[in-house]
């Protein structure tokens, strides 16, 4: 029952986080040509969306996701890909926060090419996460990395590295 409850929290949190990351570039592009009170209102609204909506949703999504990892013991190759994509999403999140700090300084603008690039990248990452999670592809990685996990493999790799460093 706890797994269902966590998924019931996790999925809307991901949806809010994703929607927020897609909306933020639209707010940034509004910066162009604004001054004084209008700029101040946009800055306050953008910070509220980032700090009050998107960041808490990200925290809840990640916290519930971590709990679900331990409760469901999902250790499949597709899940590793999903975690890597969530890491990219977290990087986009942090970069959005840094953009808010820089963008509302005097004389700053948000170029249209950056708006398009960030929106496309965010959409691709969210789409890839959905594709991997809903599709749960079966990838066989054992034959490619079996040698890494064989007994004595670490010693062999370190021995080669040490010999190369000498």
Tell me if 145 is assigned to some domain.
no
Collapsed DSSP state (helix, strand, coil) of residue 144: helix
Number of Cβ within 10 Å of residue 16's Cβ equals 17
pLDDT in tens, 27-80: 999 888 777 888 889 889 999 999 999 999 999 999 999 898 888 877 777 888
- Residue 106 lies in domain: 2-139
Per-residue model confidence (pLDDT) at position 148: 65
Per-residue model confidence (pLDDT) at position 144: 59
Please enumerate in sequence order all residues whose Cβ is within 8 A of that of 157, keeping only pairs 6 or more positions apart, or say none. Answer: 148
Tell me if 55 is assigned to some domain.
yes
What's the pTM value of the predicted model, to 2 decimals?
A: 0.79
pLDDT in tens, 111-166: 899 999 999 999 999 999 999 989 887 777 666 566 666 677 777 777 777 777 76
Tell me if 80 is assigned to some domain.
yes
**Is 137 buried (19+), middle (13-18) or exposed (0-12) by CB count in 10 A?**
exposed
Tell me if 150 is assigned to some domain.
no
Tell me if 84 is assigned to some domain.
yes
What distances in angstroms separate CA 2 from CA 15, 60, 104, 134, one per listed residue? 20, 15, 43, 21
What's the domain count of the chain?
1
Tell me if 151 is assigned to some domain.
no
Per-residue model confidence (pLDDT) at position 81: 86
| 104 against 86, higher pLDDT | 86
Residue 108 binned pLDDT confidence (cut-offs 50, 70, 90): confident
**Is 126 buried (19+), middle (13-18) or exposed (0-12) by CB count in 10 A?**
buried
Tell me if 93 is assigned to some domain.
yes
Tell me if 102 is assigned to some domain.
yes
């Amino acid at each position: 029952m706890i797994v269902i409850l966590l998924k019931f929290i996790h999925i809307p949190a991901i949806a809010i986080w994703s929607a927020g990351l897609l909306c933020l570039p639209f707010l940034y592009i509004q910066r162009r040509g604004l001054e004084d009170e209008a700029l101040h209102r946009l800055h306050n609204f953008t910070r509220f969306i980032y700090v009050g909506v998107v960041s808490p949703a990200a925290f809840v999504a990640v916290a519930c996701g971590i709990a679900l990892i331990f409760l469901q013991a999902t250790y499949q190759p597709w899940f590793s890909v999903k975690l890597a994509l969530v890491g990219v999403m977290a990087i986009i999140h942090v970069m959005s926060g840094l953009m808010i700090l820089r963008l509302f300084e005097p004389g700053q603008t948000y170029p249209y090419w950056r708006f398009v690039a960030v929106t496309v990248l965010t959409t691709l990452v969210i789409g890839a996460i959905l594709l991997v999670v809903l599709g749960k592809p079966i990838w066989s990685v054992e034959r490619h990395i079996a040698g890494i996990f064989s007994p004595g493999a670490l010693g062999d790799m370190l021995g080669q590295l040490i010999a190369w460093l000498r």
